[in-house]
Amino acid sequence: MLTRRQEIIEILEKSPMSISQLANMYKMKVEELLEDFPHIKKTIHPKQLKIIPAVCKDCRFVFKERTKLKAPSKCPKCRSEWIEEPLFKIE
């Protein structure tokens, strides 16, 4: 039987997912699931957790410099709150 973190690692090795998709899958709050990610990063060494950056759905601004795992709340360019969440994958 795998732990939740081991299951998340297997899922992210197969396909990219957002934090909220994973949280829905495990019926958890996003904040609770975010606590697992530092442990997952350590466990997967030498592989890496790759982030496909969040994108503003209005102006298509890409949040490529963002280091936080949680989705941004507003676009710095157009101030829209219509943001596509970042996706995570393990390579």
Contact between 86 and 43 (Cβ < 8 Å): no
Query: Which residues constitute the domain of residue 60?
Result: 4-90
The per-residue DSSP string of the chain comes to: ---HHHHHHHHHHHS-B-HHHHHHHHT--HHHHHTTHHHHHHHTTTS-EEEE--EETTT--B-TT---SSPPSS-TTT----EEPPEEEE-
pLDDT above 90 for 33: yes
pLDDT reported for residue 20: 95
pLDDT above 90 for 67: no
| Residue 2, both tokens | 């795998």
- Number of separate domains in the chain: 1
pLDDT above 90 for 74: yes
